[in-house]
């Protein structure tokens, strides 16, 4: 029995949910998001929220129940508040800046790394060592943050690289004489 799946997803004021075929569409002040619904899961739309439950007693339906409820919750949160990931850059000479529709990263390579910013994502650099990625789609925000981090992962000896804010980097002791 899914504990997360039992709870209904409340719809705040200004947010509407509609179902067309196998698509669940949520509209809110920040935009519109949609989710392809699974056959093993039943979705019940009401004025106050969306209830998610298994359509049968199969193992796959019970396994997907909580995940589908969380995906619906992410739709509602995305169109009301949005999602933000913050990356921090550590290292001498490492910095980032937004130049037009590209994110320019200087990460110790012989060249600058230019990352194109997608249309529905906002990237800000409040200072040269901080990158804020914002958008309404949680999966897309996380994917872009992971792709940027991939250019220079934090290393364990000096901690240089790109890390998520609040991420703990396990530090190793250097070589002894």
Q: Could you tell me the residue ranges of all domains in the chain?
A: 3-80, 83-164
Helix (H) or strand (E) run with residue 49 in it = strand 49-54
The pLDDT of residue 176 is 85
The pLDDT of residue 4 is 86
Residue 2's pLDDT band (boundaries 50, 70, 90)? low
How many whole angstroms separate alpha carbon 97 and alpha carbon 156?
25
Residue 10's pLDDT band (boundaries 50, 70, 90)? very high
Could you read off the pLDDT of 123-158 as tens digits, one per residue? 999 999 999 999 999 999 999 999 999 999 999 999
The pLDDT of residue 68 is 94
The pLDDT of residue 5 is 85
The pLDDT of residue 77 is 95
Asked if residue 28 lies in contact with residue 80, where contact means CB atoms within 8 angstroms, the answer is: yes
Could you read off the pLDDT of 42-69 as tens digits, one per residue? 999 988 899 999 999 899 998 999 999 9
- Which CATH number is 3-80 given? 3.90.930.12
1, pLDDT greater than 80: no
Would 3-80 and 83-164 be classified into the same CATH topology? yes
* 87/21: higher pLDDT: 87
- Does the structural domain 83-164 have CATH classification 3.90.930.12? yes
Average pLDDT, the chain: 93
> What's the predicted TM-score (pTM) here?
0.88
- Find all residues with CB under 8 Å of 158, minimum gap 6, and list them: 91
């Amino acid at each position: 029995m899914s504990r997360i799946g039992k709870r209904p997803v409340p719809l705040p004021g200004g947010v509407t949910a509609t179902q067309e075929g196998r698509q669940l569409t949520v509209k809110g002040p920040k935009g519109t998001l949609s989710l392809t619904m699974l056959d093993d899961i039943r979705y019940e739309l009401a004025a106050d929220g969306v209830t998610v439950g298994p359509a049968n007693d199969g193992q796959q339906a019970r396994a997907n129940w909580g995940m589908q409820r969380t995906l619906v919750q992410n739709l509602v949160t995305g169109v009301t508040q949005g999602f933000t990931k913050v990356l921090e850059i550590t290292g001498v000479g490492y910095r980032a800046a937004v130049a037009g529709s590209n994110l320019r990263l200087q990460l110790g390579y012989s060249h600058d790394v230019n990352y194109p910013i997608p249309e529905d994502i906002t990237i800000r650099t409040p200072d040269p060592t901080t990158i804020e990625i914002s958008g309404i789609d949680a999966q897309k925000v996380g994917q872009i943050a992971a792709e940027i981090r991939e250019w220079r992962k934090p290393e364990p000896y000096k901690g240089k690289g790109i890390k998520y804010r609040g991420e703990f980097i396990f530090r190793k002791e250097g070589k002894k004489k």
